[in-house]
């Protein structure tokens, strides 16, 4: 695998899931593979899980890591060509990406959506500029429109926990006080479309995800109806896509509660974290034995390990 920008870069999702499960049993089996290799991890936004799990995945493969927070440590980057750089931006992406390529064998990047300019966000300016000017493989650690490492970890979690061949999986919008990007919802939807499942997305009117991503997935506007018979409930907030970046209303009644979970088929509860307790989901849901949120976070390591391994194997 040459790069990992979306789940579509994985040659075979089912195989990758099984590799993740195998790596969990023998995390150091491929420790020699990354000897004398360096992963650069560039953060334009905060992270707990992505940073630590990807670093751990690298360590288990024998890869050294270099981490930089671009929000406060690096020079501010200019992305436009031909511009006279008289403003606050001190370094052009052309040099930055080329220089990082001298120090690292692989570069992983986190750069969220601005949520102010849909067109620019969909162009993935930061990620696509690194792809253009770096001479090493690029990994997406959550971009404006996709979070494929999270989706692969979620796929591993679903495979480990599913009890029937075709589970009912509900992706439900949940309230949040801040406008959040669509990346997790997008990648989760893309991933579920690649596995065997009855999949529905529940959201209030106006919060539909990009129709190019949801495709033929049934959209339900009644959360309680969607929950009926569900085997998995995946909660996530995202801002409006059609009225881009806006919170239309908080819709507190969309919080996932223990009472609503009773409508399901004893569903497992999933969320990518971080989660705002008693806003997105009640304490009783998060603290229930049916909550998989910590398992999902643990599986982030093995998802990242599969991706790094495939990139190193490509050479
Ligand atoms: N789920 C996830 O990506 O967590 P972080 O933002 O903490 O990395």
Domains and CATH numbers, the chain: 7-146+297-314 (3.40.50.1370), 150-294 (3.40.50.1370)
Residue-level length of the chain: 315
Q: If you measure from the C-alpha of residue 300 to the centroid of ligand 1, how many angstroms do you get, rounded to a whole number?
A: 9
56: helix, strand or coil:
helix
Nearest to 146 by CA among 130, 170, 122: 122
Pocket, ligand 1, Cβ cutoff 6 A? 47-50, 142, 150, 272-274
Index of the ligand 1 atom closest to the CA of residue 48:
7
Q: If you measure from the C-alpha of residue 284 to the centroid of ligand 1, how many angstroms do you get, rounded to a whole number?
A: 22
CA distances, 276 to each of 41, 159, 209, 243 (Å) = 26, 26, 21, 24
- Are the C-beta atoms of 141 and 106 separated by less than 8 Å? no
Q: Model pTM? A: 0.98
Output the six-digit token pair for 163: 């009890």
> 28-65 pLDDT, tens per residue?
999 999 999 999 999 999 999 999 999 999 999 999 99
Output the six-digit token pair for 244: 């881009």
What pLDDT, on a 0 to 100 scale, did the predictor assign at position 33? 98
From 140, 142, 234, 275, mutation site for ligand 1 pocket: most ligand atoms within 8 A of C-beta = 142
Q: For each of the chain's 315 residues, which pLDDT tens digit applies?
A: 999 999 999 999 999 999 999 999 999 999 999 999 999 999 999 999 999 999 999 999 999 999 999 989 999 999 999 999 999 999 999 999 999 999 999 999 999 999 999 999 999 999 999 999 999 999 999 999 999 999 999 999 999 999 999 999 999 999 999 999 999 999 999 999 999 999 999 999 999 999 999 999 999 999 999 999 999 999 999 999 999 999 997 788 999 999 999 999 999 999 999 999 999 999 999 999 999 999 999 999 999 999 999 999 998
Those residues with Cβ within 8 angstroms of residue 283's Cβ, 6 or more apart along the chain or in another chain: 277
Index of the ligand 1 atom closest to the CA of residue 51:
8
Q: If you measure from the C-alpha of residue 48 to the centroid of ligand 1, how many angstroms do you get, rounded to a whole number?
A: 6
Q: If you measure from the C-alpha of residue 82 to the centroid of ligand 1, how many angstroms do you get, rounded to a whole number?
A: 35
d(CA 108, CA 42): 6
CA distances, 66 to each of 84, 100, 136, 310 (Å) = 31, 10, 15, 20
Q: If you measure from the C-alpha of residue 156 to the centroid of ligand 1, how many angstroms do you get, rounded to a whole number?
A: 16
- Are the C-beta atoms of 202 and 223 separated by less than 8 Å? yes
């Amino acid at each position: 695998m040459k790069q990992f920008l979306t789940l579509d870069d994985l040659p075979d999702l089912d195989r990758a899931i099984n590799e993740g499960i195998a790596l969990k049993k023998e995390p150091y089996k491929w420790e020699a593979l990354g000897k004398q290799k360096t992963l650069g991890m560039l953060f334009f936004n905060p992270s707990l899980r992505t940073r630590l799990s990807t670093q751990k995945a690298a360590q288990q493969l024998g890869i050294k890591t270099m981490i930089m927070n671009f929000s406060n440590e690096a020079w501010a980057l200019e992305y436009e060509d031909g511009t006279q750089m008289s403003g606050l931006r001190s370094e052009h992406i052309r040099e930055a990406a080329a220089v990082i390529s001298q120090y690292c064998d692989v570069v992983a990047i986190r750069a969220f959506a601005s949520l102010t300019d849909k067109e620019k966000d969909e162009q993935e300016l930061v990620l696509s500029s690194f792809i253009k000017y770096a001479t090493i493989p690029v990994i997406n650690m959550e971009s404006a429109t996709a979070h494929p490492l999270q989706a692969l970890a979620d796929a591993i979690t679903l495979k480990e926990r599913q009890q029937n061949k075709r589970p009912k999986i509900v992706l439900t919008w949940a309230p949040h006080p801040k406008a959040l990007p669509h990346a997790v919802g997008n990648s989760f939807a893309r991933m579920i479309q690649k596995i065997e499942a009855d999949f529905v997305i529940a959201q209030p009117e106006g919060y539909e995800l990009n129709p190019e991503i949801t495709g033929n997935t049934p959209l339900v506007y009644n959360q309680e109806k969607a929950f009926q018979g569900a085997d998995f409930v995946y909660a996530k907030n995202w801002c409006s896509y059609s009225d881009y970046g806006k919170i239309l209303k908080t819709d507190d009644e969309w919080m996932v509660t223990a009472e609503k979970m009773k409508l399901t088929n004893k569903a497992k509860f999933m969320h990518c974290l971080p989660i705002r307790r008693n806003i997105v989901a009640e304490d009783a849901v998060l603290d229930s034995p049916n909550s998989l949120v910590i398992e999902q976070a643990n599986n982030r390591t093995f998802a990242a390990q599969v991706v790094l391994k495939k990139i190193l194997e490509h050479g």
